[in-house]
Amino acid sequence: MSEIIVHICLCEDWKKAKGVGEYSPLSLEIQGFVHASRLEQVLQVANRFYSGRTDLCLLWIDQEQLTSSVKWEEADGEIFPHIYGAINLDAVIGIVPFQPDLDGIYRLIPEKK
């Protein structure tokens, strides 16, 4: 299996995606790609952009199952996977709620289910 990449999303957006058959977040329309991370980058990204949010889920994505292309590109001195197109639902191999600690900081990544 290929490397698993992770996307942080609003749980409500994922519910909507299941109804339409693919996941297309606003970043795809605005920036032309879907942001994703390697597992070890998730906490850093979550604390930088989503601190305190309690309505998030992690999508665990198998790159080999994606119908859209993935490009590994530099951002803020690191290399991140960017998905250039919608995420087909069968590429998502796990979805877990993602909650911060009481102080709003993300410290643990839940196990893939």
pLDDT at position 109: 83
pLDDT at position 111: 77
pLDDT at position 1: 47
Rounded to 10 degrees, the C-alpha dihedral 7/92/15/70 comes to 50
82 DSSP β-pair partners: 35, 71
**Which residues in the chain show pLDDT less than 50?**
1
pLDDT at position 73: 97
Q: Tokens for 70? A: 């993935």
Radius of gyration of the chain (CA): 13
pLDDT at position 113: 64
Domains of the chain: 4-97 (3.20.170.20)
